[in-house]
Structure 1
């Protein structure tokens, strides 16, 4: 090898070694020493109760609990474009949960997405939002989780292809997309607005569902709250791009988030039903603060948008319009299966939203409406919330297509959907989640002495 060639080779080797060292430095995180699981009685009951409410706002139970299994024991499959990731066990089990995590280790996971052993966590755990959570709130959530019933539940292996199954790769994602600045209040706004902004940006992580994502799975900041996809549902735009026939305001948002239902907008369904179920447990002031903040994010409706909303409400109060004869098959199915609840003004639970006010019918694709028609809206014990039967077994795909096309044409001013047949087939295949309005309290008691029973 000649002198110049040897120099070039040496430079390449040095560059490769330097790159490897830099990559290691970026990806490596030290382990944090294990601790003995703290006794539940070591935590103040008021702190635990506060942690319970914060965990409800964060929807922790639904992401870390398989339906019908033990609370917070993990194992819930989270489908992503890159494969399936399973949620972790966050009970205080010493072997398979977080029982040997110190508060410092817990806070690092929340802020940096790194577990006690120093492994990077996949951003299906929304630490890109939890960076905004205060130390005090992290402490309260830690106290709540460490007073739950320990559950021995080993982690399920994620189903990811190489190289995404290698956790150090996540360090590169964090370099690109993880913003570590905590929430800073806006002194020009009210305390209520700031409380809502803090919750939405942090624990409530609303943008995780309602913001579209780029090719690498990160939220598109330039399109915040413009609508996203989650679990075969479309999370509607909740900014000025909303397709809701009637514009939202703070009062409507509050009622919807508190009760899972609003007569001008309809019923919370799919993953949003789980959010409402959790919010039903928290302080009224926090729900109101979220509504106030999001109403300002949506902005005051333009004059045209306001007129459209007023026209939709006026039409909803008028006698039903004549059914279109362009789709007689769909019209017949609607008359037999839908009109009795949606056109007769019946009181809850049998009265349904006027379909001219339905965002599902005005939405950008038919996924949500298909899911509703297949699964229905189940009754909630002790509540006069809307109910609706599912038609998965009683309607075939041809009938479902006819009904969907009829609903879109009659009750919206939007163009016809495309790909309706495929949407129905996908929904039947994935056996989409059952709908609910509010499931009532689902988190374990805040009192450390009242831990979950086996």
Structure 2
């Protein structure tokens, strides 16, 4: 009798827990609407939405390579699998044409789709929850006035149980902080504007913050550096390893043009961000630069010389000799003053952020795949050497560059990291 009572209690507890979880995970469907036409929105609101969409880099993640704008299909590689950007054109069948403004706002603020499904945080609603109702209205107006495109996004490639979306309710309970951005009254209007954009719609921390085993941003590590699609996103706080400390003006130049002569050229996932920001007014860019510079403890004036770092090159003499020969033949023509091409790279290598980072991913990928100019229509700024150099040669060259131009501690296991980068696998 006692055993049956215990078993019954366990079953009752399981049933109650299941019911509680179901209640937590359930979200109601919001009734569909007829797609509103362009006449439903004021032109000024649509124009404001265009600016906000550019700040959010929405076009990049919701457009497949070679596809129609905002029609979905972009493959976002994560440590858990590949998630495809959805169609956010006003197509009523495959897009968001039947979404009301209320449904759109719920997706941004809570990560829940119109029919009640929980959205994967590859869509960074953990940042978008800070977006104001006014800005959400402008975003909605802009997207609803785009060309409708009928296009089904490919299915996500995720293992079970991650395909069971109700589990995301538990993730949100643990990690999602809701509520619009609240200005700091002790800060300037420009600082607060930059904080609102960087923390919210521009979602800088989505890439520049480390993540835990469940894919959530590490608490207390905001802007301490992270990974995106195999690239290392450097720290944007006082943990920055940049040889030359960033200033507000340098950050503004980088976000405005994609180039900071004392730091870096926008590459990898950052390149399309800069391209989208070209449609954003200087005031928004400067506000973001003001906020990030404050997080980094940036100096008031420019710093002329790179900061010396401890460490050194641990390569053998033979390896250094081979790497020096590769550098002389493949790199020095652009990276040394007075090279035969009469062209000098925009960032001196002793100032290059990629060589000073704790992770070699960016340096390796630049060598393998080259660097494009911020203007995608222009010629590459640096060619890739994936077809000219072996994994071992790239590893030796990377180690040599780290030792000569950074002085930081030697990077470990470079050849396997080169193989990962060449294959497209994530090195996170």
With the length of structure 2 as denominator, give the TM-score of the two structures: 0.92
* Aligned partner of residue 154 in structure 2, secondary structure: coil
Q: Which residue of 1 aligns with 2:407?
A: 413
How far apart, in 2, do the equivalents of 1:196 and 1:76 lie?
Answer: 28
How far apart, in 2, do the equivalents of 1:276 and 1:82 lie?
Answer: 27
Displacement of 1:402 in angstroms is: 2.3
Give the counterpart of 2:244 among 230, 243, 246: 246
Residues 341 and 352 of structure 1 are in contact (CA less than 8 Å); yes or no, is this contact kept in structure 2?
A: no
Q: Which residue of 1 aligns with 2:23?
A: 25
Q: Which residue of 2 aligns with 1:393?
A: 387
Displacement of 1:332 in angstroms is: 1.5
Q: Is 1:337 aligned to 2:335, yes or no? A: no
Q: Which residue of 1 aligns with 2:166?
A: 168
Give runs of aligned pairs for residues 50-61 of structure 1, distance below 5 A: 50-61=48-59
106-115 vs 10-19, greater mean Cα deviation = 10-19
How far apart, in 1, do the equivalents of 2:167 and 2:120 lie?
Answer: 10
Deviations 1:260-285 (A, max 9, x none): 00110120100011111111110110
Deviations 1:376-412 (A, max 9, x none): 1235669999811111122222322221121111001
Residues 251 and 291 of structure 1 are in contact (CA less than 8 Å); yes or no, is this contact kept in structure 2?
A: yes
Give runs of aligned pairs for residues 305-324 of structure 1, distance below 5 A: 310-312=304-306
Residues 348 and 385 of structure 1 are in contact (CA less than 8 Å); yes or no, is this contact kept in structure 2?
A: no
Deviations 1:82-127 (A, max 9, x none): 2221111111110000000000000000000000000000111000
How far apart, in 2, do the equivalents of 1:398 and 1:418 lie?
Answer: 13
* Aligned partner of residue 306 in structure 2, secondary structure: helix
Q: Which residue of 2 aligns with 1:424?
A: 418
Residues 344 and 351 of structure 1 are in contact (CA less than 8 Å); yes or no, is this contact kept in structure 2?
A: no
Displacement of 1:374 in angstroms is: 1.4
Q: Which residue of 2 aligns with 1:65?
A: 63
Q: Is 1:16 aligned to 2:10, yes or no? A: no
* Aligned partner of residue 141 in structure 1, secondary structure: helix
Displacement of 1:360 in angstroms is: 0.7
Give runs of aligned pairs for residues 122-137 of structure 1, distance below 5 A: 122-137=120-135
Give runs of aligned pairs for residues 147-166 of structure 1, distance below 5 A: 147-166=145-164
387-396 vs 63-72, greater mean Cα deviation = 387-396
Structure with the larger RCO, 1 or 2 (CA within 8 Å, 6+ apart):
1
Give runs of aligned pairs for residues 72-87 of structure 1, distance below 5 A: 72-87=70-85
Identify if the C-alpha distance between structure 1 residues 210 and 381 changes in structure 2 by more than 3 Å, giving closer, same or farther: closer
Give runs of aligned pairs for residues 32-51 of structure 1, distance below 5 A: 32-51=30-49
Displacement of 1:312 in angstroms is: 2.1
Residues 352 and 386 of structure 1 are in contact (CA less than 8 Å); yes or no, is this contact kept in structure 2?
A: no
Displacement of 1:200 in angstroms is: 0.8
Q: Which consecutive residues of structure 2, in runs of 5 or more, have no partner in the other structure? A: 309-316
Displacement of 1:158 in angstroms is: 1.4
77-86 vs 49-58, greater mean Cα deviation = 77-86
Displacement of 1:431 in angstroms is: 8.5
Deviations 1:149-193 (A, max 9, x none): 111111322112221110000000000000012210011111000
* Aligned partner of residue 63 in structure 2, secondary structure: coil
Q: Is 1:357 aligned to 2:351, yes or no? A: yes
Q: Which residue of 2 aligns with 1:143?
A: 141
With the length of structure 1 as denominator, give the TM-score of the two structures: 0.87
Residues 246 and 298 of structure 2 are in contact (CA less than 8 Å); yes or no, is this contact kept in structure 1?
A: no
Displacement of 1:14 in angstroms is: 2.7
Identify if the C-alpha distance between structure 1 residues 288 and 74 changes in structure 2 by more than 3 Å, giving closer, same or farther: same
Displacement of 1:40 in angstroms is: 1.7
Deviations 1:39-69 (A, max 9, x none): 1222111111110110110010001111111
Identify if the C-alpha distance between structure 1 residues 199 and 348 changes in structure 2 by more than 3 Å, giving closer, same or farther: farther
Displacement of 1:17 in angstroms is: 2.2
Residues 75 and 155 of structure 1 are in contact (CA less than 8 Å); yes or no, is this contact kept in structure 2?
A: yes
How far apart, in 2, do the equivalents of 1:183 and 1:7 lie?
Answer: 51
Q: Which residue of 2 aligns with 1:298?
A: 296
